Structure 1
Amino acid sequence: MADSLKAFFAESALKADEVEYVASKRFLDGDRKPIAWKIKPITQEEEESLLNQAKKKEYVPGTRDVKVSTDNNLFVRLLITSCVTFPNLDDAALQDSYGAVGAQDLIQKMLTPGEYADLANMVQQVCGFEVGMDDKMKRVKN
């Protein structure tokens, strides 16, 4: 049993790979082929930090209560900009070319709405959200 537990040690775990993904067919290399973006997964700890950054507090009128909610759009932008390693969304020259201030602003200006939605889905898949819990539970039961 001790040996089977070693499979869960950090040094035994397989490292999550960076994935290449063509986020847009509009960005072409010298041979006129679409350039693949690179996406890396983040840890649960990093995701919690992003979630905390996306939380907003609102005071409930007429009370002393505070309502805390998550700005889902902000969270997705934070997730994308944390996971995309290429192109470098923090590059000042790239941001200047779009008139953007910061990586979050840049990603919204670089991509069309459909490209952005597809990239957001891919980033979530790379982070391990591609399979719903129902599917996982069915696999375990069978």
Structure 2
Amino acid sequence: MNNFADFLMDNFEDTQEIEREVTLGGKKKLMKFKPISADLGDKLRKKNRKTKFVKGQRIIETDQDKYISDLIIETTTYPDLKNSELQSSWGVMGSEELLTAMKSKMKDGEFSEWSSIVSEVNGYDKSVNELIEEAKN
């Protein structure tokens, strides 16, 4: 049954912070995450998009690595990667530089786990096949 009231602003839930235990630098750490809005997601994608012209055709490319880094920075609420004290302890300035420094001290699989959690928190936890099945039904 269709109910117009389902789409009123009061019926949209605020996003909640989620706690997860993540292994980083060889040790388990309790981290907190909060999903970003679709609007911020659009801004991050646009920020990491480049347009080039090949034989008169416009080609738009997205730097996925930079987008994932921005998504991690915006979604991870604890530790706050924008915190100047945390950045200073790593000898860097800026959240992107902090994330790069932290990556240098962790295993590739640890970073992959972190980015997977961030993707899941933001609703990207379904595979393409699951989405196709949902669309069929």
What range describes the TM-score normalised by the shorter chain of this pair?
0.7 to 0.9
Q: Is 2:24–2:111's contact at 8 Å kept on the other side of the alignment?
A: no
| Counterpart check, 1:7 vs 2:6 | yes
CA separation of 1:114 and 1:101: change in aligned 2, threshold 3 A:
farther
TM-score (norm 1): 0.78
* Percent pairwise identity: 24
| Counterpart check, 1:44 vs 2:43 | no
Q: Is 1:19–1:39's contact at 8 Å kept on the other side of the alignment?
A: yes
From the CA coordinates, give the structure whose radius of gyration is larger. Answer: 1
| Counterpart check, 1:126 vs 2:92 | no
CA separation of 1:71 and 1:25: change in aligned 2, threshold 3 A:
closer
Q: Which residue of 2 aligns with 1:23?
A: 22
Unaligned runs of 5+ in 2: none
Q: Identify which of 69, 77, 86 aligns with 2:78.
A: 86
Q: Is 1:108–1:116's contact at 8 Å kept on the other side of the alignment?
A: no
Which structure shows the higher strand fraction? 2
In structure 2, what is the Cα distance between the partners aligned to 1:51 and 1:136? 21
Q: Is 2:24–2:110's contact at 8 Å kept on the other side of the alignment?
A: no
CA separation of 1:22 and 1:16: change in aligned 2, threshold 3 A:
same
Unaligned runs of 5+ in 1: 29-33
CA separation of 1:140 and 1:77: change in aligned 2, threshold 3 A:
closer
TM-score (norm 2): 0.80
In structure 1, what is the Cα distance between the partners aligned to 2:89 and 2:132? 47
CA separation of 1:64 and 1:136: change in aligned 2, threshold 3 A:
closer
